Chain A
Amino acid sequence: MKYIDEFRNKDLVMNLADLINKTVTRDYTFMEVCGGHTAAIHRFGIPSLLPDNIRLISGPGCPVCVTGTDFIDKAITYSKMNEVILTTFGDLLRVPGSASSLEKEKAAGADIRVVLSGLEVLEIARMNPESLVIFLGIGFETTAPGTAVTIKQAEKQNINNFFLLSAHKIMPPAMEAIIKEGVNLDGFICPGHVATITGSSIFDFIPERFNLGCVVTGFEPVDILQSILMLIRQVNQNNSKVEIEYNRAVTVKGNSIAQRLLSEVFEPYDATWRGFGVIPLSGLTLKKDFEKFNIEKKMPLKINSQEDNDLCICGKILRGLETPADCPLFAEICFPENPVGACMVSNEGTCNNWYKFRFIK
């Protein structure tokens, strides 16, 4: 299959692994920010191909994992109301809130439906004019434009029973928070899908202000190994910069139409990230012009969310400070079928991937 087979070519992969082995001169720690990268790294068994002195740590780029307990609690509260249909992407179903999850509420009778796109939700709203149809907007710059299109369409088509509960977030503020936290890093494997929308220039501040390398990376094994090699070379030559490995999709400036849509519909606000707390101007909320679609304006909720389990170190894992191996709950109490923290839930979560794809050297 085009764009897949070339980038999973075993000879190329072996050559790159060999080249990496010959290029390393010290220990290196790189963070893959995006959960899609975490999943690909484990799925293809990349760690088993790397020399011991390269450490890959996973960052905060799994949208499910960084979604706060309060968001899940709010979604659950709305889902229990009469005449509410809650629509969501599949990954969110199993994320634990304070006392329950959307999946448990669905089994107990709430009308919760999994959708593949926001536009599907508009169809549901049209078919159920008596119901309030709420869409859980989640994801980074990659998925937020889809939600923006949905909002614009809802307005154009005069759909008045469609609402958004937004947990959309943007990537750069979280990366800055990680650097400021003092995580010991030699560079970032930067999210390719985010950069397809934003352009690679959103990462320019990282080499400029913090002297750390950035390589915008695709999601196939050749992409990932090539990027690791590029980062090693940046470190060896003490030449931090933003490079694009994923050049079949990413440009410096990105997709200007999607960017325009985002700034037309959303504005940044101080959002809560699971594990981080509040990060200034890191979330996306609807602008005043589109406020009528904001369910939190139509039906404000006061939620008292419980703290996460004290022993769960998801927060530290999301900040790259610890790994699942450091967690007392991992594979003892916390399993994919009964997750304690969000990192165990999502297909892109670090703990989930560690558990599912425990790699073998």
Chain B
Amino acid sequence: MKDFISLNQGSGGKLTHELIDRVFAGRFGMAEPLTDSAILKESGFTRVFTTDSYVVDPLFFPGGNIGKLAICGTVNDLAVSGADPRYIAASFIIEEGFPLHELVLITESMADEALKAGVKIVTGDTKVVHKGKCDKLFITTSGIGILNPDLEHISTGKRVKPGDKLIINGPVGNHAIAVLGARNNLNFSTPVTSDCASLNYLISKVLQNSGEIRFMRDITRGGLTTVLNELAKMIGFGIIINEVYVPVDDPVKGLCEMLGFDPFYLANEGKVLIVVGAGEETRVLNILRSDPLGLYSEIIGEIVPDKKELVVLNTSVGGKRILDMPVGDQLPRIC
């Protein structure tokens, strides 16, 4: 049968990478390695440019909504490239019949979040399509930031070397579980809230106080495991992760046990992976922990000289296994 786009090709893992390689990268002449934002150098200025589309079901979930997400996500893509986010463009595709008051609520969250993150929403577009031609509301935001030329290495990880340490700014999986809970009306006795947040101030605090930041990436679709595998491939080294240090909140852990999910593969919207030069990790950890968005930061692993570019997990019980790139979305298991 003919090939059709499947949902798995949007899950952020191996199949998404394949789709980008097969359809987009060659035709658009995209430069390797693929980073969160493009770095544009022109007459003395270095700017970074990024874009992202937001399609979340349901539109409102504990901890945020599609509007807040559309600002945080794009701000974070710029910030993890080492840039200072400045301007946002926002486009809306709205389904006929969408309630106006919901659109107002969503727009207000965008304005709030932009104010908080110190970015200006400067241009945009609106299209309304016939009922059934889109699912309620899709938002695309593009962002421009200004990059200090000394930080150009951060998005490509070209200074990462064995011995460097990996830090994460808090527990993983909350966003995915919060959305899943809202989508399926699972009434958790302990509510799980999305971690959706703009990380630019946290990141700039880290960059101002440490000259040893080697790489950053926000941990979104595809989860921690995807970012780790992308990094290993990019730098040509291996990574060792210590499971006991990767923070996962109890309600998320419990839900994952029940559904057969692995929290390392779940989406986040306010988490960043930071690679820092050896010896500098405690200082960076303390800077992160002094910020509300980094209270639960942990050093989770290190870069090792492994040419096979494997990500190896030291399991909590003392075993070892490989953390592989996810294939498609995780499916709830039968029993």
Please report the number of residue pairs spanning A and B whose Cβ atoms sit closer than 8 angstroms: 124
Given contacts A107-B6, A108-B4, A116-B184, contact A89 B319 (CB under 8 A): no
Instruction: Tell which of A8, A90, A107, A359 touches B320, judged by Cβ atoms closer than 8 Å.
Output: A359
Question: Is there an interface contact between A347 and B260, defined as CB atoms closer than 8 Å?
Answer: yes
In the bound complex, what is the Cα–Cα distance between A355 and B316 (angstroms)?
21
Question: Is there an interface contact between A193 and B335, defined as CB atoms closer than 8 Å?
Answer: yes
Closest CB in chain A relative to B226 CB, distance in Å: 14
Which residue of B is nearest A47, CB measured? Answer: B319
Q: Does B257 contact A (CB under 8 A)?
A: yes
Which residue of A is nearest B319, CB measured? Answer: A45
The A-contacting residues of B in range 218-269, CB under 8 angstroms, are: 244, 250, 253-254, 257, 259-260, 262
Closest CB in chain A relative to B134 CB, distance in Å: 17
* Chain B residues with a Cβ closer than 8 Å to the other chain, count: 38
Return chain B residues, CB-CB under 8 Å to A153.
Answer: none
Return chain B residues, CB-CB under 8 Å to A47.
Answer: 319
Q: How large, as a class, is the contact surface on chain A? A: 35 or more
Given contacts A1-B250, A100-B1, contact A93 B331 (CB under 8 A): yes
Return chain A residues, CB-CB under 8 Å to B244.
Answer: 10
Q: List 18 A-B contacts (CB under 8 A).
A: A9-B317, A36-B335, A43-B262, A45-B321, A64-B334, A89-B332, A89-B333, A93-B331, A104-B4, A107-B7, A114-B331, A139-B335, A222-B317, A347-B333, A356-B324, A358-B322, A359-B321, A360-B321
Closest CB in chain B relative to A147 CB, distance in Å: 11
Q: Does B8 contact A (CB under 8 A)?
A: yes
Question: Is there an interface contact between B322 and A357, defined as CB atoms closer than 8 Å?
Answer: yes
Chain A CB within 10 Å — which of B2, B18, B324, B330 has the most?
Answer: B324
Question: Which 7 interchain pairs have the tightest Cβ spacing?
Answer: A45-B319, A90-B331, A107-B4, A13-B317, A107-B6, A336-B327, A45-B321
Return chain A residues, CB-CB under 8 Å to B315.
Answer: 43-45
Which residue of B is nearest A144, CB measured? Answer: B335
In the bound complex, what is the Cα–Cα distance between A107 and B324 (angstroms)?
25
Question: Is there an interface contact between A360 and B312, defined as CB atoms closer than 8 Å?
Answer: yes
Contact with B along A209-222 (1 / 0, CB 8 A): 00000000000011
The A-contacting residues of B in range 1-46, CB under 8 angstroms, are: 1-2, 4-8, 14-15, 18
Contact with B along A75-114 (1 / 0, CB 8 A): 0000000000000011111100001100110111000001
Closest CB in chain A relative to B59 CB, distance in Å: 20
Q: Does A20 contact B (CB under 8 A)?
A: no
Closest CB in chain A relative to B327 CB, distance in Å: 4
Return chain B residues, CB-CB under 8 Å to A243.
Answer: none
Question: Is there an interface contact between B331 and A91, defined as CB atoms closer than 8 Å?
Answer: yes
Question: Is there an interface contact between A337 and B4, defined as CB atoms closer than 8 Å?
Answer: no
Question: Is there an interface contact between B331 and A107, defined as CB atoms closer than 8 Å?
Answer: no
In the bound complex, what is the Cα–Cα distance between A45 and B313 (angstroms)?
9
Q: Does A63 contact B (CB under 8 A)?
A: yes
